[in-house]
Structure 1
Amino acid sequence: MTDAALPSPAAARAPSEAAARRLKKRYAAERRFRFYGRAAIVVALAFLAVLLGRIVMQGYTTFASYDMSVPVHLDPARIDPADPTGANYNLMVTDAVMARLGLQDDEFGVTSSKVMALISNDLGFQLLDQVRDDPSLIGKTVTVTGPVRADAALYYKGEVHRDAPEGERKLTDQQLDWLDELKRQGLVTSGFNFDFLTRSDSTEPEQAGVWGAVVGSAMMLLVTALLSIPIGVLAAVYLEEFAPKTRWTDLIEVNINNLAAVPSIVYGLLGLAVFINWLAIPRSSPLVGGLVLALMSLPTVIIATRSALKAVPPSIREAALGVGASRTQTVFHHVLPLAMPGVMTGSILSLAHALGETAPLLMIGMVSFVPAPPESFTSAATVLPVQVFIWENASERAFHERTAAAILVLLVFMIVMNLAAILLRRRFERRW
């Protein structure tokens, strides 16, 4: 009997060399995959940095204010005590500023018109309010403080340059000289622009703020939360824990998933047809806005809640049923509390998504000019995304920096909501 022929050394090395080449290719493919993943992250972060940097660079100047303090003599010859509203207080402020600049008006009032273009109407309204509240001020000198005009503020912020051709800017060289002189005399001082956070919209950029939009957004989100969260959670509990698996429930589940992908403007059309035209709910109110956004948020809340319920181990249900708990007690006393972190996270994220929606709100009339915060849920209101849309389409250059500042406020609003979702999830999360 002869022994089997042993393979040659070359034949023995061949499989190992082929395996080594395949292993080398796999390692190279893995290194390429890691490189592509890191490159994708770097590109995404770069785009995010460019976006946020552009917004911050354009909007941070909004939070710097330049206020003018002017002592104004309330001439009795120009104010009727019986009807103080008939006086021209803006002209009084202008005359006081001209006196500080050593200017005399000409026959046609050209000089006073140029000076008035540097002063906000807010100072005149302050004088009117003071005289109306205390008529004894007539004949005295009152100091009022208010913002300079938006174009003058842009000059102080360095966004209007003196070396630019005079025809390409709204302010003449003479007006820029006056602004420099007012600042040299101490009549104009700079500080933080709290008015942007405490005032509502205005036709004058220097007087416009986001407070009305913030209040409108908060009221609208309250309506959205009160409707979408309870209804969405209960619907998800029924579909996941109680509903029999039939064609009808399968059809409902498919439609819920499809509704989550419907364009938001469709919900605006639905709200316009149902809530405004049929139910006659006031247009541009937090109530109708909250109803529309609740419809849009419901599919997301249902899907997130069902996912959270599925994540609860079956042993929890079996243990509760084993000690005699009913089906309802098992779900509401054990399963739902354990799924609450996922439920709250999904709900808050859906509300944050609703906060940034603009298209459905434009369809229900929230694009209108609203100069004051809403007094009730049926009052006219605006919201932060719509306020951004309105200001961006304004012709005044100063509104554009306020657009970026309003975006920053909106981002802070959304970041707070996302942080709340993270904190709630960590607070109630349980590891199995």
Structure 2
Amino acid sequence: MTDAVLTPTASAPTSNAGTRDIGIKKRRAAEKRFRIYGVSAIVIGLAFLVLLLFSIFSKGYTAFFQTMITVPVEFSEKVIDPSNKRTTDPKVLVTANYPNLARDAVAKAAGIDLNDKAALAGLKGFVSDGVRAQLRDMVQKDQSLIGKTVPVTFLASANIDSAYKGQIDLTVAEADRKVKDDQVAVMNKLAEAGALREHFNPDFFTNGASSRPEAAGLGVAIIGSIYTMLIVLALALPIGVCASIYLEEFAPKNRWTDLIEVNINNLAAVPSIVYGLLGLSIFINFMGMPRSASIVGGFVLALMTLPTIIIATRAALKAVPPSIRAAALGLGASKMQTVTHHVLPLAMPGILTGTIIGLANALGETAPLLLIGMVAFVVNYPATPFEPATALPVQIYMWANEAERAFVERTSGAIIVLLIFLILMNLVAILLRRRFERRW
């Protein structure tokens, strides 16, 4: 009796190999599709970001330049002090019709006859209304200017500024635009003569609020934001770090500390407008603190920033290896010495990074500041945090609601300034982390 010999068929291995090949191809195809989806999402996100930045910068970079007019101005005694009373009544130097001096100077530079009433009337609104205060201050400072002719540089009006920058379509009908044909002709003549040019506009960074777009600036908003951020830093950083050290290093692990940790995480997700309502009810209505003051804005934003700093600080403390603590305790250091001399210095890069990111988020907040009244029309710099002020995001909000066309340019320019501040703060956070970070 012979044993039957079973020979394996070739079909089974081929079938299994084919199944494996199909499975590998499917996985590779799925991986390829996932990569395509990821790259597509990044490209779409970058495209929207570039579109947003292009829209902001294309509209806002011109805010850093302003159209100025430089012409010889005759400080006519007939206009300033026709009765020669300035020695006995200095008020005549205040009430003089200085805009007429600027108008006549522009008319002469453009070759317009001063006796042509219609042509002079066409120059109304050509020069900024701020020329009144500018020429008045010059005369009050130096009365010897009366009767002389000296070159003076002053602002063109917002409409002339927009027209010269090409922001107003001059091809449309005259009735449909704010700049008239006579003004366009004068503008072109002055530009050809070199009397009308764009200059860098430092007033955009130094002036306060103004109803005239050409004179409006971010000075008060910048000072208010600096005051606010200093208050946030002085309150949120020490309180947040101390709370984090206690919760992470000293507090017993029980349901109460777990409840506190959950509430801190929840507070980090609370909408910022809720903190504004809290500040309105407590700091202003209950405590009677001044409205539109940087001190209140700092308190509100400090409350909003605290959860972020606590979470970041606890994460930095957890990242310190337990062996550092064990070694310090083994050498006889107390718990407090271990934390202050070893754990805290090693966690400082993460703490500083979280703090700066929290401050950057607070710098861009608008809703809490609106609710506590930081929307005042403030012209002068606040000397202390208790005086009325605005902040950069609030100033952007107020300019965005203005009807004047020139405020669109100012709004985009202010957004650029705010973005620069935010980028610098985030850059500092990155540099601090790279400079002090240790790999374990």
1:278 pairs, out of 275, 282, 286, with: 286
Give the equivalent residue in structure 1 for 2:405.
397
Range with bigger deviation, 232-241 or 367-376: 367-376
One-letter amino acid matched to 1:391: W
Give the equivalent residue in structure 1 for 2:217.
209
Give the equivalent residue in structure 1 for 2:379.
371
> Aligned equivalents of 2:439 and 2:16: distance in 1?
47
Range with bigger deviation, 70-79 or 315-324: 70-79
> Aligned equivalents of 2:227 and 2:238: distance in 1?
17
Give the equivalent residue in structure 1 for 2:69.
68
How far 1:105 sits from its partner (Å)?
Answer: 6.2
1:266 aligns with 2:267: no
1:172 aligns with 2:173: no
1:349 aligns with 2:327: no
With normalisation by structure 1, the TM-score equals 0.96
Range with bigger deviation, 190-199 or 260-269: 190-199
1:99 aligns with 2:108: yes
1:7 aligns with 2:26: no
* DSSP 3-state at the match of 1:372: coil
| Unaligned segments of structure 2, at least 5 residues | none
1:320 aligns with 2:298: no
How far 1:200 sits from its partner (Å)?
Answer: 2.2
How far 1:290 sits from its partner (Å)?
Answer: 0.6
| Unaligned segments of structure 1, at least 5 residues | none
Q: How many residues align?
A: 431
> Aligned equivalents of 1:140 and 1:177: distance in 2?
28
Give the equivalent residue in structure 2 for 1:223.
231
Given that 1:232 and 1:302 are in contact with CA atoms closer than 8 Å, whether structure 2 keeps it comes out as yes
1:330-370 CA-partner distances (Å, limit 9, x unpaired): 11111111111111111100100000000000001111211
* DSSP 3-state at the match of 1:418: helix
* DSSP 3-state at the match of 2:382: coil
One-letter amino acid matched to 2:285: N
One-letter amino acid matched to 1:7: P
Given that 1:91 and 1:116 are in contact with CA atoms closer than 8 Å, whether structure 2 keeps it comes out as no
Give the equivalent residue in structure 1 for 2:207.
199
One-letter amino acid matched to 1:41: I
Cα gap change, 1:79 to 1:429, in 2 (>3 Å)? same
1:86 pairs, out of 75, 91, 95, with: 95
One-letter amino acid matched to 1:297: T
How far 1:224 sits from its partner (Å)?
Answer: 0.5
* DSSP 3-state at the match of 1:171: coil
How far 1:131 sits from its partner (Å)?
Answer: 1.2
Given that 1:90 and 1:116 are in contact with CA atoms closer than 8 Å, whether structure 2 keeps it comes out as no
One-letter amino acid matched to 1:39: S
> Aligned equivalents of 2:238 and 2:215: distance in 1?
40
Range with bigger deviation, 157-166 or 94-103: 94-103
* DSSP 3-state at the match of 2:151: strand
> Aligned equivalents of 1:426 and 1:119: distance in 2?
52
> Aligned equivalents of 1:300 and 1:378: distance in 2?
26
Cα gap change, 1:144 to 1:292, in 2 (>3 Å)? same
How far 1:214 sits from its partner (Å)?
Answer: 1.3
Give the equivalent residue in structure 2 for 1:24.
25
> Aligned equivalents of 2:391 and 2:366: distance in 1?
9
One-letter amino acid matched to 2:128: S
Given that 2:108 and 2:114 are in contact with CA atoms closer than 8 Å, whether structure 1 keeps it comes out as no
Identity of matched residues, %: 53
Q: How does 1:301-312 map to 2 (within 5 A)?
A: 301-312=309-320
Range with bigger deviation, 126-135 or 355-364: 126-135
> Aligned equivalents of 2:424 and 2:435: distance in 1?
16
Give the equivalent residue in structure 2 for 1:384.
392
> Aligned equivalents of 2:357 and 2:217: distance in 1?
27
Give the equivalent residue in structure 1 for 2:415.
407
Give the equivalent residue in structure 2 for 1:142.
150
Given that 2:122 and 2:182 are in contact with CA atoms closer than 8 Å, whether structure 1 keeps it comes out as no
* DSSP 3-state at the match of 2:166: coil
How far 1:110 sits from its partner (Å)?
Answer: 5.5
How far 1:104 sits from its partner (Å)?
Answer: 4.6
How far 1:387 sits from its partner (Å)?
Answer: 0.7
Give the equivalent residue in structure 2 for 1:34.
35
> Aligned equivalents of 2:374 and 2:7: distance in 1?
87
1:375-403 CA-partner distances (Å, limit 9, x unpaired): 11111111110111111110100000110
* DSSP 3-state at the match of 1:225: helix
> Aligned equivalents of 1:281 and 1:61: distance in 2?
39
How far 1:56 sits from its partner (Å)?
Answer: 0.8
How far 1:5 sits from its partner (Å)?
Answer: 3.2
Given that 1:123 and 1:145 are in contact with CA atoms closer than 8 Å, whether structure 2 keeps it comes out as no
1:85-120 CA-partner distances (Å, limit 9, x unpaired): 01111122112222333435679x654343130101
One-letter amino acid matched to 1:284: S
> Aligned equivalents of 1:373 and 1:7: distance in 2?
94
> Aligned equivalents of 1:234 and 1:113: distance in 2?
68
> Aligned equivalents of 2:375 and 2:369: distance in 1?
8
One-letter amino acid matched to 1:392: A
1:295 pairs, out of 254, 278, 303, with: 303
How far 1:271 sits from its partner (Å)?
Answer: 0.5
1:189 aligns with 2:191: no
1:416 aligns with 2:424: yes
Give the equivalent residue in structure 1 for 2:55.
54
Cα gap change, 1:322 to 1:178, in 2 (>3 Å)? same
How far 1:190 sits from its partner (Å)?
Answer: 2.1
Structure 1 residue ranges (4+ consecutive) displaced by more than 6 angstroms after TM superposition: none
Give the equivalent residue in structure 2 for 1:340.
348
